């Protein structure tokens, strides 16, 4: 019933999953940044979430996305 992966395949699956969660979380600040005319912050948030996802998965990618989202929304109100 369960699929057990060998060492290299398991590492690749973890790597792809971590990068994938970083991309998914990074889309939040990217899309909000583009819509609020804060493209630079959106791109920075996207890249930071990918790096955070690679390092600690959703445990780092989600807080980074939230911080960038709040930063984008605050800067958008000032402009």
Question: What is the SS3 assignment for the chain?
Answer: CCCCCCHHHHHHHHHHHHHHHHHHHHHHHHHHHHHCCCHHHHHHHHHHHHHHHHHHCHHHHHHHHHHHHHHHHHHHHHC
Write out pLDDT tens, residues 25-71: 999 999 999 999 999 999 999 999 999 999 999 999 999 999 999 99
pTM of the predicted model as reported, rounded to 2 decimal places: 0.87
∠ CA 1-12-6, nearest 5°, is: 45
Least confident of 4-8, 15-19, 51-55, 72-76: 4-8
Domain ranges in the chain are 24-73
C-beta atoms surrounding 71 within 10 Å: 16
């Amino acid at each position: 019933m369960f699929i057990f992966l060998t060492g290299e395949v398991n590492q690749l699956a973890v790597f792809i999953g971590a990068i994938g969660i970083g991309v998914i979380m990074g889309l939040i600040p990217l899309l909000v940044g583009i819509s609020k005319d804060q493209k630079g912050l959106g791109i920075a948030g996207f890249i930071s979430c990918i790096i955070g996802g690679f390092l600690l998965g959703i445990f780092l990618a989600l807080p980074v996305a939230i911080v960038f989202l709040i930063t984008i929304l605050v800067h958008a109100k000032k402009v």
